[in-house]
């Protein structure tokens, strides 16, 4: 399979590196130093106690790369549009776009570039960290969950599964991938969002009466929205899961908190913002989520005036 991975961060490198063992793989990144390092020394992945080297082709431009079977988007969501616009020449009639990014609603953007049946959405349970340019650590392995927005009339997902599994991934195909995405989203739009606004560790949320009330309200609004979308969810179970996540990770730092702390733009528009957009389509009121989105964007703007 001919595959292009956009983004040479931890996850893009893990997928791009491993997939290159059995496929024609290109990794696209705007950082020339990373591209040069991969091309000169290979892409190093620390996994299972050893350092393995893979040899995808790294590029800063995809000009001239044609007939691509699959494009995997692994940039931060706020850069997705620019990444796709800058690499539009990759996308042919039969090219599939795959996103395993955090959050929900990515398909709305992807459908601006390809037909609905060419969009693959999902989640990954793999995790990793960048150690140096061209060198990452695969911290844990898990399922790569994928699904289509339409019926798989051409049988592409089984081919994707076979291709990925041969390279050390564990792909699971879902008939209702949105259910899985929202199951993961509930924690991000409640616990993670509140830690970002308050700039506190994860453990603070369950321990503080007022932080917890806000978190529970966010869960309630998200559950009502998910139900309006036709998804099944048990609010009591979700609340308990989020509470345990907070209590079991007392010093945990969410990505939203870290981004706001370090002066970076967040992915709130594909996390809490995904609930706001879905709720608007379903005529569900989500005032707490609207507050969260506005507050996070307001915090992003601190120090810029």
- Mind giving me the DSSP string for 76-105? -GGGHHHHHHHTGGG--TT-EEEE--SSS-
189-233, pLDDT tens digit by residue? 999 999 999 999 999 999 999 999 999 999 999 999 999 999 999
Q: What is the predicted pLDDT for the residue at 304?
A: 59
Share of the chain above pLDDT 90, in %: 91
What was the pLDDT predicted at 127? 87
Residue 140: is its pLDDT beyond 80?
no
Claim: this prediction has a pTM higher than 0.85: yes
305 pLDDT above the threshold of 60: no
Q: What is the mean pLDDT of residues 4-31?
A: 96
Above 70 in pLDDT, residue 3? yes
* Cα dihedral across residues 69, 75, 78, 84: positive or negative: negative
161 sits in which H/E element: helix 156-166
Average pLDDT over residues 15-35: 96
pLDDT at 141: 79
Neighbours of 271 (CB within 10 A): 26
Would you list the DSSP string of 208-254?
SHHHHHHHHHHHHHHHHHHHHTT----HHHHHHHHHHHHHH-TT---
| Type and span of the H or E element at 38 | helix 32-41
How confident is the model over 110-138, as pLDDT tens digits?
999 999 999 999 999 888 899 999 999 99
Percent residues over pLDDT 70 in the chain: 99
Q: What is the pLDDT of residue 303?
A: 58
pLDDT value of residue 219: 98
pLDDT digits (tens, 9 = 90+) for 245-263: 999 999 999 999 999 999 9
Of the pLDDT bands very low, low, confident and very high (cuts 50, 70, 90), residue 302 is confident
Q: Give the pairing type, strands 119-124 and 2-6.
A: unpaired
**Average pLDDT of the segment spanning 150-172:** 96
Q: Is 169 helix (H, G, I), strand (E, B) or coil?
A: coil
For the segment 135-161, the average pLDDT, to the nearest whole number, is 93
Give one DSSP letter per residue of 69-83, joined into a string: SEEEE-S-GGGHHHH
Going by the DSSP 8-state scheme, the letter that residue 117 receives in this structure is G
Instruction: Point out which residues pair with 45 in neighbouring strands.
Output: 52, 136
Domains of the chain: 2-175 (3.40.50.720), 178-300 (1.10.1040.10)
- CA distances to 70, 73, 116, 150, 176 from 94, in Å: 9, 17, 12, 15, 23
């Amino acid at each position: 399979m001919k595959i292009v991975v956009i983004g040479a961060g931890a996850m893009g490198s893990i997928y791009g590196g491993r997939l290159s063992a059995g496929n024609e793989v290109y990794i696209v990144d705007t950082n020339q130093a990373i591209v040069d390092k991969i091309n000169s020394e290979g892409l190093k992945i620390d996994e299972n106690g050893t350092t393995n080297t893979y040899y995808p082709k790294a590029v800063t431009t995809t000009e001239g790369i044609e007939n691509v079977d699959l494009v995997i988007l692994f940039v931060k969501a706020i850069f997705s549009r620019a990444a796709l616009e800058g690499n539009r020449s990759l996308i042919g009639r039969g090219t599939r776009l795959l996103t395993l990014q955090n959050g929900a609603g990515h398909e709305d953007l992807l459908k601006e570039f390809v037909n609905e049946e060419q969009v693959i959405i999902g989640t990954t349970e793999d995790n990793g960290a960048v150690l140096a340019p061209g060198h990452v650590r695969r911290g844990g392995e898990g399922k790569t969950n994928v699904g289509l927005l339409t019926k798989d009339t051409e049988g592409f997902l089984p081919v994707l599964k076979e291709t990925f599994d041969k390279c050390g991934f564990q792909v699971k195909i879902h008939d209702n991938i949105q259910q899985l995405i929202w199951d993961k989203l509930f924690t991000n739009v409640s616990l993670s969002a509140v830690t970002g606004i308050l700039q506190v560790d994860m453990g603070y949320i369950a321990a503080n009466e007022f932080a917890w009330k806000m978190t529970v309200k966010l869960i309630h609004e998200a559950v009502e929205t998910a139900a309006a979308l036709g998804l099944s969810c048990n609010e009591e179970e979700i609340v308990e899961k989020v509470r345990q996540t907070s209590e079991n990770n007392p010093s945990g730092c969410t990505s939203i908190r870290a981004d706001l702390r370090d002066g970076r733009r967040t992915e709130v528009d594909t996390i809490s913002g995904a609930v706001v957009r879905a709720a608007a389509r379903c005529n569900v009121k989500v005032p707490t989520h609207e507050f969260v989105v506005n507050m996070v964007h307001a915090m992003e703007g601190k120090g810029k005036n």
